[in-house]
Structure 1
Amino acid sequence: MVSFRLLLTATTLSLGLSSVTLAAPEDDVKAAYEQWNADFNSGDAEKLASNYSEDAIFLPPSHAVIEGPQGVQEFFAPLFENGVTGHTLEVIKVIDHGDEITAAARWSAKGGDGSDIGGIGTHVFQRQDDGSLKLALHTFN
């Protein structure tokens, strides 16, 4: 009798879980990248900065240490004023650490003069209460 109840419980749990869709960390990162690209390509530095946590660290190739969304906004505003657009991110690797996810990506964009620019970016995301991701650390070359 115990084994029948155990089997019934296991089957019920299995059926219940099969109807729950859990996004894979790579899917979450791809969604965060799509949002980041859309906000970048809108040319709105404030909107782009909303992708970063309050205690975010942003490390551009200039070796500056930029902190928080306000610092990110101040960094990107001149790029938008100079016509940089067409940003894309392509996932290279995603590593799930639970509430944090590390990702590496290839990035590309169009310079204000129409030139192709790009490189590699490294990102550490923090999962928010609503399940979304915000950047806690961002560096690129």
Structure 2
Amino acid sequence: MTPLRVATLATCIALLMPIAVQAGSLEEDVSAAYAEWDAAFNESDAKSLATFYTEDTLFLPASHDIIKGPSGVEEFFAGLFANGVTGHKLELIEATSEGELVVSAAKWSAEGKDDAGAPATFSGIATHVFKKQDDGSLRLKVHTFN
């Protein structure tokens, strides 16, 4: 291999390395945010859960309601908790970022009761748009699921 090819290859590898590290870090950050969100959910703590959302959040649940702001999110989840929904788990599918926004998709599942009152597992897909905060944390700006 010629010295020019070696230098070109080394430059290409050096340019790709920060991208790979950043992608892994992004996935770790989103997975950590999911773990914290799940922990608050599984404590049935609607007030704590609402702190994961920005003041201008748009929350679009499968009920087709349009909910704005943390207080609306808190009210929605308080209703779920009153009905015994628990055991929530988010599993990251993919995440990408641009500027201060992070977009991610996840599989979700939760435990509850069906219409007859029998134990049931619910699941679906969620889409999240996080806004990076000054301290590096992620808060939900848009959250929708089916």
**What band does the TM-score fall into relative to the shorter chain?**
0.7 to 0.9
Q: Distance in 2 between matches of 1:64 and 1:108?
A: 20
Partner of 2:82: 81
Root-mean-square deviation over aligned CA pairs = 1.4
- Amino acid in the other structure paired with 2:112: G
Partner of 2:130: 125
- Report % sequence identity: 55
Partner of 1:42: 43
- After TM superposition, what 4+ stretches of structure 1 lie above 6 angstroms from structure 2? none
Q: Distance in 2 between matches of 1:44 and 1:92?
A: 25
Query: Structure 2-normalised TM-score?
Result: 0.79
Q: Distance in 1 between matches of 2:89 and 2:99?
A: 26
Partner of 1:10: none
Partner of 1:56: 57
Partner of 1:65: 66
CA drift at 1:95:
0.9
CA drift at 1:98:
2.4
CA drift at 1:114:
2.4
Partner of 2:103: 102
CA drift at 1:96:
1.3
Partner of 1:93: 94
Q: Distance in 1 between matches of 2:99 and 2:91?
A: 22
Partner of 1:11: none
Q: Distance in 1 between matches of 2:133 and 2:91?
A: 22
CA drift at 1:78:
1.1
- Listed as ranges, the gaps of 5+ residues in structure 2 are 1-20
Q: Number of paired residues?
A: 121
Matched, 1:137 2:138: no
Q: Distance in 1 between matches of 2:119 and 2:71?
A: 28
Partner of 1:3: none
CA drift at 1:73:
0.3
Partner of 2:31: 30
1:114 to 115, 119, 124: 119
Q: Distance in 2 between matches of 1:95 and 1:36?
A: 19
